Amino acid sequence: PQSASSSDVAAAKAEATLLAALRHAFCFEPRLLAASAPATSLPTSLSTSVPASLTDASRLLNPTSIMVGLSGGLDSSLLLTLLCDLRARGELTLPLRAIHINHGLQEAADKWQLHCETLCAQHGVNLTVCVVDCSLNSAGGTSGRAFGESAVVSEEAARRARYAAFEGALDAGEWLALGHHQDDQLETLLLRLARGSGVDGLAGMPSARVLGAGALIRPWLEIPRQSLEDLARTRRLSYVEDPSNQNTHYDRNLLRAEVLPLIESRWPRYRQSWGKSQQLMRESCDLNADLAEIDLKVCLAAGASRLCVAEMALLSSPRRRNLLRHWLISLGCSAPSWKLLNRLDSETCVHTDQSAQWQCGAYSLYRFKGELIAVREDDFEPQVMSKQHAPSADEVRIELPGNGILILLSGSETIVSDSHFSVRYRQGGEHLSLPGRPSKSLKKTLNEESVAPWLRDRLPLVFIGNELLWVALLGPTAEAAKYTEVNASGQGLGVTFEWLSPALELSREANSRL
């Protein structure tokens, strides 16, 4: 019949397109390099949308294996099936495995897991199953909502939990393959437009990016969902349907069921035109990143990951916001909101002779001595440490909970074994006399000595009874002489103190995602 013939043709065309995209992504060398992309009609997303700064990363160029993110739905089930086809033909030689994230949000969640286990068993693919917590508190609230009131379960909460599990499961150099397609990309565009995203957000999901110890790859972002459906129907592919996909209370489902069909009825070629716009926005993102790197080289303080406020002040507001965003992301911070960027832009370069602090959730920014510094926030709670066992008279190392290590050298056994010995923290009202100097409040002394403000409440204070002997970063007090000095006859304890502080300041060299 004519209908059967046309469906077969559509399925054959879809299979050729989908396989071509997979071959381009996983089976040809060199991978992901735009300059070497073959001049064919293959999808170009993998060769054109990878930021230039990432193309040199070995984990994006030389995968050690492939891990398919397998939900059990149409996209991921077809992705795994076609990769197995390529493996059976000898075209794909990399080790292949799958991962299923059980969110526990549906009554049928265990059935979906069973489907994934069955599919992987049929293809001889090892499957890892991760059960995740999608509670709002665990994933950062309801920021995923773009319209209306909060959903019963935050879409953003589930997404964050899922990607955290993906990242934790990736082996070194391994690629995570996801089945996102063009319709997913366009839905993402509208969701981000609704929440006021910039060009980086409107550019959509990247086709490739570094993730954990490996990389994330989306080879089908330029292929419409209809192509996947055509092939799955012809091959009688078994997959699960999420019943919540019919619930238009969720923003993405509303777009899929009502908004995009209406747009397509009026503008049938909207996919092509929107895709072109997203490509232009990706290029703008790359240009913004290149400009930010140029400004960063000028504004970075010598030998540090700090920004020079005086140099920042010479930039225009848009350029300064672009720099701040790029700098924070390079330190491992989440992309700052538009509201935060505007506040930083207007406040960081005024009253530069004064110190200031901006709390930004998982990190804080400090303006201090003409520099802008990003500092990790934690749940540090000062704990008083009292008398310690001293295994050696030469060195005692005291672990300070959440606050590094205090080291006492030479004669330390006498001090730490004293029943009146304690390590405390600032309570307010402390006074001290540094050698040769008059007594002053500790607060005033810290200001005079320009001690970093993010360290002031964490400074270990060593006491014998109520007598303050030593303050980290300031040194011994005048009262500590009987413990720290050695006279001409060699008598005295000669104790020295050292504090190994925790790594609080964020750096580009050792960033961790905040």
Go through 230-239 and write b for each residue having 16 or more CB atoms within 10 A of its CB, e for each that does not. bbbebeeeeb
Looking at this protein, which amino acid is placed at residue 369? K
Confidence label for 510 from pLDDT (cuts 50, 70 and 90): low
Which of 151, 135, 157 has the alpha carbon at shortest distance from 248? 151
Which of 40, 38, 106, 112 has the alpha carbon at shortest distance from 70? 112
CB neighbour list of residue 263: distance below 8 Å, 6 or more residues apart:
270
pLDDT at 179: 96
**pLDDT tens per residue across span 243-282:** 777 888 888 899 999 999 999 999 999 999 999 999 999 9
pLDDT at 139: 39
Torsion of CA 315, 320, 326, 331, to 10 degrees: 90
What is the average pLDDT across 212-238? 94
Looking at this protein, which amino acid is placed at residue 388? Q
pLDDT at 125: 96
pLDDT at 390: 54
The answer to whether residue 500 scores a pLDDT higher than 70 is yes
Q: Report the C-alpha gap between 460 and 497 in whole angstroms.
A: 11
**pLDDT tens per residue across span 157-195:** 888 889 999 999 999 999 999 999 999 999 999 999 998
What is the average pLDDT across 495-512? 83
**pLDDT tens per residue across span 63-79:** 899 999 999 999 999 99
Choice between 60 and 54, residue whose per-residue pLDDT is larger: 60
For tokens 């068993």, the residue is 121
For tokens 């993010």, the residue is 454
Confidence label for 334 from pLDDT (cuts 50, 70 and 90): confident
Q: Which two tokens stand for residue 212?
A: 């954990």
The answer to whether residue 85 scores a pLDDT higher than 90 is yes
Q: In degrees rounded to 5, what are phi and psi of residue 315?
A: -90, 155
Q: Report the C-alpha gap between 483 and 446 in whole angstroms.
A: 23
Q: For each of the domains in the chain, give its residue range(s) and CATH number, in order of start.
A: 9-25+54-134+156-266 (3.40.50.620), 277-376 (1.20.59.20), 385-500 (no CATH)
Choice between 106 and 510, residue whose per-residue pLDDT is larger: 106
* DSSP tag of 336: P
CB neighbour list of residue 163: distance below 8 Å, 6 or more residues apart:
211
What is the average pLDDT across 475-502? 72
Say how many CA atoms lie within 13 Å of 492 toward its Cβ.
14
What is the average pLDDT across 298-311? 89
**pLDDT tens per residue across span 91-149:** 999 999 999 998 877 777 889 999 999 999 999 999 999 988 776 544 333 333 333 33
pLDDT at 145: 34
What is the average pLDDT across 364-376? 94
pLDDT at 484: 65
pLDDT at 28: 53
The answer to whether residue 494 scores a pLDDT higher than 80 is no
Confidence label for 327 from pLDDT (cuts 50, 70 and 90): very high
| Burial status of residue 487 (CB atoms within 10 A of its CB: 0-12, 13-18, 19 or more) | exposed
Q: Which two tokens stand for residue 96?
A: 């292949």
**pLDDT tens per residue across span 201-220:** 999 999 998 898 899 999 99
Answer whether 13's CB lies under 8 Å from 6's CB: no
CB neighbour list of residue 90: distance below 8 Å, 6 or more residues apart:
none
Q: Which of 205-209, 345-349, 476-480 has the lowest mean pLDDT?
A: 476-480
* Percent of the residues in the chain that have a pLDDT greater than 90, as a whole number: 57
Looking at this protein, which amino acid is placed at residue 257? A
**pLDDT tens per residue across span 437-453:** 899 999 999 999 999 99
The answer to whether residue 52 scores a pLDDT higher than 90 is no
**pLDDT tens per residue across span 4-49:** 578 889 899 999 999 999 998 886 543 443 333 333 333 333 333 3
**From the DSSP assignment, how many helices (H) and strands (E) are in the chain?**
19, 19
Confidence label for 504 from pLDDT (cuts 50, 70 and 90): very high
Q: Report the C-alpha gap between 24 and 43 in whole angstroms.
A: 8
Reduced to 3 states (helix: H, G, I; strand: E, B; else coil), residue 86 is helix
Q: In degrees rounded to 5, what are phi and psi of residue 200?
A: -65, -40
